[in-house]
Structure 1
């Protein structure tokens, strides 16, 4: 009985870690698209956990947030190469006969630290833009933010 419980816990842990890896991959892809410009003429979007905030920004304020991220040095070409290398290391760890949780977590923590730098930059830039807004601009921003939140996928029940 205890052996079945341990096996079940191990499977759950592997599924959880795999899910986290997939989430990091999606964030990496979204960041790459944002930094590479996306489609010509398309607005820049950052999916760094502040997605509704950045989408609610308009015009020059949106440009300022994007430029702050680009100028911060976060996600430089070397960082993107390192992210790709780390994702390959995660895949190799998952495919190994024996799962090395320590190696897997080490790579995930490196990825997390890399993304945290970008998130902090975006949050700082968004805060600075909001601080510079008049009361009327903040109210209009709040309306756009509320609209972005309505468009978000519904939470699972």
Structure 2
């Protein structure tokens, strides 16, 4: 009975970890699409916790954030390839007859480090733009940010 509970606990932990890894993958793809620019309908927006901040910025400042992210080295093509490779490692460790905890943890640690690096780059780029604003610009920015917080992003409004 206790053996069955341990297996169930491991399975649930594995599922949660895979879910986390998939979320990290999505973050990488979204950030990459934001930096790359997007398709025919225009640039994709980052819809992370910083999404309202970037949408509330005027076009020049939003462009400066995008450029800073591009220049930062975060969200490179190799990162997406490495994310896919780590996902394969995670899946292989979950499917193996013997669970390799060290390989599993290492792959997740690499994913977390990539995500943290990207988040730090985004934070630095946005903070730099806000720091460069004068009092009046920050007040206008705050008004736009407040408006962003009150409504759903355009893509969600269209699908309703």
Contact 1:74 1:117 in 2 (8 A): yes
Q: Does 1:109 align with 2:86?
A: no
In structure 2, relative to structure 1, the CA distance for the partners of 1:84 and 1:6 (3 Å cut) is closer
- CA distance in 2: counterparts of 1:16 and 1:96, whole angstroms: 17
RMSD of Structure 2 on Structure 1 (CA)? 2.4
- CA distance in 2: counterparts of 1:106 and 1:146, whole angstroms: 40
TM-score in terms of structure 2 length: 0.80
- CA distance in 2: counterparts of 1:82 and 1:146, whole angstroms: 37
1:144 corresponds in structure 2 to: 144
Q: CA deviation at 1:73?
A: 1.4
Q: Does 1:54 align with 2:54?
A: yes
Structure 2 gap segments, 5+ residues each: none
In structure 2, relative to structure 1, the CA distance for the partners of 1:32 and 1:87 (3 Å cut) is farther
1:22 corresponds in structure 2 to: 22
Q: CA deviation at 1:41?
A: 5.6
In structure 2, relative to structure 1, the CA distance for the partners of 1:105 and 1:149 (3 Å cut) is farther
- CA distance in 2: counterparts of 1:102 and 1:148, whole angstroms: 43
Structure 1 gap segments, 5+ residues each: none
Q: Which moved more, 1:4-13 or 1:103-112?
A: 4-13
Q: Does the residue aligned with 1:60 lie in a helix, a strand or coil?
A: helix
Contact 1:90 1:107 in 2 (8 A): yes
Structure 1 runs (4+) deviating above 4 angstroms are none
2:98 corresponds in structure 1 to: 98
Q: CA deviation at 1:66?
A: 0.4
TM-score in terms of structure 1 length: 0.81
In structure 2, relative to structure 1, the CA distance for the partners of 1:139 and 1:69 (3 Å cut) is same
